[in-house]
Structure 1
Amino acid sequence: MKINKFFALGGVVGPILFIVMTSYFGSIRLGYNHMHQFISELGATGTANAQLMNFAGFIPSGILIAVFGISLLMVLKKQKYAAIGSASIIFFGLGILVDGFFSCDAGCPEAGSMENMIHNAVAPIAFLAAIVGTGLLGFSFKRTPAFYSLWKYSIFTCFISFVSLLALLASLESRMFTGLWQRLLLLSIFLWCGIVGLRIFKLGNNKKP
């Protein structure tokens, strides 16, 4: 099914686009520190190149990752937990999309404008959705021949991303290494999206999972 193969590549292109845009706009933002600052600060309301980061980074990347989640759902729709996991990945992508439309205030404070509050409410839910999604899909992959080789890796991704999220939350008060933990969290999930997306693309629905 060609459309499903195309959708699966969203798991590859979306994360690459997000990483490239984050790296670029971070490099041209005076004083920006990837180790300690949120990625969302690059798209914060009223800051330099914020709209470009949002409309070239957050929004298209979110759409592509959600489309990748749809490809998972199309392949694994007959399995209950896989369907829930796939829906969680779709939600993760949509969360990135929404956070591109609703930017945080400068510095991404806990309190602020309504837009900032929406951004701060959506982001952790999106992260949790991705973590839960990789875990549920990992257990589903264990029972799916075409994806069996990825089940342990998926569980490992779930564990690493969850630990990174806990470390991120623990760093919020000091803002020390907050950016590092957020990047480790996203990198683990993005790498998983790319690997699974390529697997679906190669299968091309020629084999039934």
Structure 2
Amino acid sequence: MSRVADAGLSRLAFAALVAGLAVLIGVVVWAGWTYPGYDHTRQFMSELGATGAVTGRTVSIWGFVPNSVLMTVFGVLAAWILRHSALAVTACLMLAAFGVGMTGGGVYPCDFECSRSDPSPASFRHDVFGGVGYLCAILGVGLASLWARRSDAPGLARLGLVAVIVSVVGFYGVIAEVERAGLFQRAMESAIAVFMLALGWMLMRGLRSGRS
């Protein structure tokens, strides 16, 4: 009975993740097209939801927040499905924390154009939530990759290693605000998303933790 319930939860988790990513991609593409002069390679996604931006409230409330909440749901459900492995649970809860961090980043938008000079309290919280969320995601992917290696899922483990490397480089680009910071951010978020999709797909296909 437990296996049947977990199979249903795995489908729900994967559906939540796919829906969340679809919302994010749709809103970012729409907002980038609507925002005058916006450059996806040079500007952060958060600028689309920034205070004073033409797309600000719509992107934050109807894009960033729903996507992040659904990612949190995925992480929590995945942790329950893999509850027989402490390592897997920790990894999935880190991915859920990533969703929580991104939710906070949506609730508290950055200042116009995400300027860091004399930031408002909301902009400061945005940076804290976003930064901690990204670090949780990188840690979560790394731990999940280690668990996958121990669980006879070498393909997922290798994908996780690549995702961690791309994410670390992307995170550096975001923090350092390099010229193509938008591209670095999108590479990081894409790597994390691809790994989460792969994990969700494998859970739906029956990947489970062995009992302790």
2:9–2:81: 8 Å Cα contact kept in structure 1? no
Structure with greater contact order relative to length (CA < 8 Å, sep ≥ 6): 1
Counterpart of 2:19 in structure 1 is 13
Q: 1:153-168 counterparts in 2 under 5 A?
A: 153-168=159-174
Matched, 1:122 2:129: yes
Q: Please state how far the C-alpha of 1:182 moved relative to its aligned partner.
A: 0.6
* Bigger shift: residues 194-203 or 85-94: 194-203
1:92–1:129: 8 Å Cα contact kept in structure 2? yes
1:15–1:194: 8 Å Cα contact kept in structure 2? no
1:99–1:119: 8 Å Cα contact kept in structure 2? yes
Q: Please state how far the C-alpha of 1:208 moved relative to its aligned partner.
A: 5.6
Counterpart of 2:203 in structure 1 is 200
| Match of residue 97, structure 1, among 99, 103, 113 | 103
Percent sequence identity is 25
Distance of aligned partners of 1:31 and 1:142 in 2 relative to their CA distance in 1, 3 Å threshold? same
Counterpart of 2:92 in structure 1 is 86
Counterpart of 2:139 in structure 1 is 132
Q: Please state how far the C-alpha of 1:46 moved relative to its aligned partner.
A: 2.1
- Spell out structure 1 runs of 4+ moving beyond 6 A: none
Q: Count matched residues.
A: 203
- The CA RMSD measured in Å over matched residues stands at 1.7
Query: For 2:155 and 2:57, how far apart are their aligned partners in 1?
Result: 40
Matched, 1:143 2:146: no
Counterpart of 2:186 in structure 1 is 183
2:85–2:209: 8 Å Cα contact kept in structure 1? no
1:11–1:194: 8 Å Cα contact kept in structure 2? yes
1:66–1:92: 8 Å Cα contact kept in structure 2? yes
1:21–1:53: 8 Å Cα contact kept in structure 2? yes
- Stretches of structure 2 that go unaligned for 5 or more consecutive residues are none
Counterpart of 2:59 in structure 1 is 53
Matched, 1:35 2:41: yes
Aligned to 1:107, what secondary structure does the other structure show? helix
Q: Please state how far the C-alpha of 1:4 moved relative to its aligned partner.
A: 3.6
Query: For 2:204 and 2:97, how far apart are their aligned partners in 1?
Result: 21
Distance of aligned partners of 1:80 and 1:208 in 2 relative to their CA distance in 1, 3 Å threshold? closer
1:8–1:72: 8 Å Cα contact kept in structure 2? no
* TM-score of the aligned structures, taking structure 1 as reference length: 0.90
- Stretches of structure 1 that go unaligned for 5 or more consecutive residues are none
Q: Please state how far the C-alpha of 1:190 moved relative to its aligned partner.
A: 1.0
2:10–2:200: 8 Å Cα contact kept in structure 1? no
